[in-house]
């Protein structure tokens, strides 16, 4: 049996792509709020993984703080079960492995590419634990022919992809110089009156926290939005450093990473998937943007690579 789980929705989405990757029984665990996600993907949910028998492999993520992910790694170490952690993006490497003022690592850590590998090494993650394995979540979107047929509409809406920055229990001030609310206020100030700003909040965020923005008549807050609608509906897509911007960049070449103050680089800047804007946002909303990148070629073959590695581990 393989046990998969995380307290982070991004990791869960990644892990959901592994449901058919090997012909082995699998169980998934997460926080209660994400049970509906597991159920909608027809994944077998366990509420108490510690009672499971014959677990041969544990696969989890690197959610920040005292997370389920870290508890799964500790459980694996106690039970002498091989553990894999997945870093499915390129941020906060230093903070991801902190547990009670110590470093906690799984047996093996999957990273997306050579750039992620170098970032991990920069923060002293042991070389012998790192494996470049691609990314099955991005591969899924790269191979999705239905989504690639969607055409952008000529609309008067601007989509902002929010992130949960404010109130984080981990110090991320070096990564983000402004939180989501400070960023939104600056966007509203720059937004031409003819446009509506649609704010797609992060799954971890609460709609109630956004009541402070109700005074703006041209701002709409939403919790859920279909991925196809994100591709099709907005004139422009704006975000900070959300991984969702990278997924959307497979289908849109006009995505803006709006960060008014100098901060740590975003992977979208380096890969060319997003355009960094620090000032003149109004101008960039109006003008044509054409981000040139090869992100849609980068992760083909990830599933096969991970499948072969898992088979190797299970045979031990």
pLDDT of residue 212: 84
pLDDT of residue 92: 79
Average pLDDT, the chain: 92
Rounded Cα–Cα distance for residues 20 and 23 (Å): 7
SS3 assignment, position 117: helix
Specify the pLDDT at position 168: 65
Run of H or E residues at 268: helix 267-271
Report the candidate in 260, 256, 254, 255 with the shortest Cα–Cα distance to residue 279: 260
For 203-239, write each residue's pLDDT tens digit. Answer: 888 888 898 888 888 999 999 999 999 999 999 999 9
Strand order across the 2-5 sheet = 26-29, 2-5, 57-60, 82-86, 108-111, 130-132
Residue 248 pLDDT: 96
Low-confidence ranges of the chain (pLDDT < 70): 168-174
């Amino acid at each position: 049996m393989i046990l998969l789980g995380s307290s982070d929705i991004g990791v869960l989405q990644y892990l959901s792509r592994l449901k058919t990757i090997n012909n082995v029984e699998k169980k998934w665990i997460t926080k209660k709020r994400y049970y509906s996600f597991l159920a909608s993907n027809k994944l077998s949910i366990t509420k108490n993984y510690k009672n499971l028998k014959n677990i041969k492999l544990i696969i989890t993520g690197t959610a920040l703080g005292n997370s389920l992910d870290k508890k799964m790694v500790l459980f694996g170490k106690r039970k002498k079960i091989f553990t894999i952690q997945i870093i499915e993006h390129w941020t906060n490497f230093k903070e991801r492995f902190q547990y009670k003022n110590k470093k906690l690592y799984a047996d093996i850590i999957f990273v997306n590419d050579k750039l992620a590998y170098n970032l991990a090494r920069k923060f002293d993650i042991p070389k012998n634990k790192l494996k470049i394995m691609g990314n099955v979540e991005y591969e899924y979107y790269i191979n999705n022919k239905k989504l690639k047929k969607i055409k952008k509409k000529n609309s008067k809406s601007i989509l902002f992809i929010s992130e949960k920055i404010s109130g984080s229990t981990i110090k991320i001030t070096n990564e983000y110089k402004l939180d989501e609310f400070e960023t939104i206020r600056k966007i509203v100030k720059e937004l031409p009156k003819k446009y509506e700003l649609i704010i797609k909040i992060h799954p971890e965020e609460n709609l109630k926290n956004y009541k402070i923005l109700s005074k703006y008549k041209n701002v709409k807050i939403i919790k859920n939005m279909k991925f196809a609608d994100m591709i099709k509906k907005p004139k422009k897509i704006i975000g900070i450093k959300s991984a969702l911007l990278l997924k959307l960049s497979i289908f849109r070449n006009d995505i803006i990473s709006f960060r008014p103050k100098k901060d740590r680089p975003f992977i979208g800047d380096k890969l060319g998937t997003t355009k960094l804007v620090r000032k003149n946002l109004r101008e960039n909303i109006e003008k044509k943007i054409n981000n040139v990148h090869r992100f849609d070629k980068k992760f083909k073959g990830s599933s096969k690579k991970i499948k072969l590695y898992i088979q190797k581990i299970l045979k031990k």
